[in-house]
Structure 1
Amino acid sequence: MPAKLIAAPADLDFLHNDSVPLNAPLTALQAYCAMTSHTPAWLAGAFRLRDFISRRFNVADIQGFTPRSPEHVPKVGERLDFFTVEGISDQQLVLTSRDTHLAVMVCMDLPSEGAGAPCLSVTTSVQCFNAFGRAYMVPVGLAHGPIVRRMLRNVLKEGSGRAAT
């Protein structure tokens, strides 16, 4: 299943994809819960700084990630941390965050059973609507890859794909 994008590739201002091989089968929601099971102090601080600065531009706080259990499966339209669930299945989780400055889509993909070696792929696409959105994406774009790679390490540590307790 191809990753979903927030807009056509030519209209994107940011596109990033990273993946990690899996040691055990898991659902897309289990992968998300594992990824967000532990937020390092430096990332929590970066979220606080982002919220402090963004508040001055009337951008809602995001407050970071909250550890959660994959036992409660959100429905389309529900919130998952600072994202809205746009689509959810065992193989794909599609999340968005939109405001007046930009729109973000995160698409987490897993292969169907029997489709080869299990691998989790995370694709983030962003479309900016104004100068603030483009300026915001300069530091976020630089930090995004290392942040996603750090969060993917949580999936490897979890092994089973269940969120930490």
Structure 2
Amino acid sequence: MPAQLLAAPADLDFLHSASVPLTTPLTALQAYCAMTSHIPVWLAGAFRLRDFISRRFNVADIHGFTSRSPEHVPQVGERLDFFTVESISDQQLVLTSRDTHLAVMVCMESTAECGSRQRLSVTTSVQCFNAFGRLYMLPVGLAHGPIVRRMLANIR
């Protein structure tokens, strides 16, 4: 199943994908919960800085990620941290966040590799709607890859 994107790749302002092999089978929600189980102090600080700056442009605070148990499976339309759940299955979790400046979609997929091994892929697509959205994505785009790789390390 290919990763869901906000739009065709040519119409996106940002697209990033990273993946890791899984040593034990996980659902997409279990992987999300593992990824967000331990957020480093520097990333929590970056979320606070983001909220402080963005508040001046009437952008809602996101507060970052919270540790949670995968035992409560959210329904479509429910919030999962600062995202809205668009679709959820054992193999795929699709999350979005939208405001007047940009739209973000994160697609997490657990897929079978050769044999019985699994691979988790995280694909993020973004469309910017105005100059603030494009300016916002300059630092976020640079930091996104290292942040996702760090969060994927929580799974290992």
2:13 corresponds in structure 1 to 13
Q: Following TM superposition, by how much is the alpha carbon of 1:10 offset from its aligned partner in structure 2, in angstroms?
A: 1.0
* Helix, strand or coil at the partner of 1:103: strand
Contact 1:85 1:94 (8 Å CA) reproduced:
yes
What is the TM-score of this pair, normalised by structure 1?
0.92
Partners of 1:150 and 1:134 in 2: how far apart? Answer: 24
- After TM superposition, the structure 1 = structure 2 runs for residues 67-146 of structure 1, keeping only pairs within 5 Å, are 67-112=67-112, 117-146=117-146
In structure 2, relative to structure 1, the CA distance for the partners of 1:52 and 1:20 (3 Å cut) is same
Partners of 1:71 and 1:51 in 2: how far apart? Answer: 29
Partners of 1:150 and 1:15 in 2: how far apart? Answer: 18
Partners of 2:6 and 2:35 in 1: how far apart? Answer: 21
The structure whose residues are more often strand, as a share, is 2
Is 1:34 the counterpart of 2:34? The answer is: yes
Contact 2:85 2:93 (8 Å CA) reproduced:
yes
* Structure 2 residue runs without a partner (length 5+): none
Deviations 1:40-82 (A, max 9, x none): 0000000000000000000000000000000000000000000
Q: Which has the higher contact order (CA 8 A, sep 6+)?
A: 1
Partners of 1:9 and 1:98 in 2: how far apart? Answer: 18
What is the TM-score of this pair, normalised by structure 2?
0.97
* Helix, strand or coil at the partner of 1:110: strand
RMSD: 1.3
Partners of 1:96 and 1:39 in 2: how far apart? Answer: 20
1:51 corresponds in structure 2 to 51
1:65 corresponds in structure 2 to 65
Q: Following TM superposition, by how much is the alpha carbon of 1:117 offset from its aligned partner in structure 2, in angstroms?
A: 2.9
**Which amino acid is the alignment partner of residue 85 of structure 1?**
V
Larger mean CA deviation between 4-13 and 82-91 belongs to 4-13
In structure 2, relative to structure 1, the CA distance for the partners of 1:7 and 1:115 (3 Å cut) is farther
User: Runs ≥4 in structure 1, deviation > 2 angstroms?
Assistant: 112-117
Deviations 1:3-49 (A, max 9, x none): 00011111100000000011000100000000000010000000000
* Structure 1 residue runs without a partner (length 5+): 157-165
* Helix, strand or coil at the partner of 2:153: helix
Partners of 2:115 and 2:105 in 1: how far apart? Answer: 25
Partners of 2:15 and 2:21 in 1: how far apart? Answer: 21
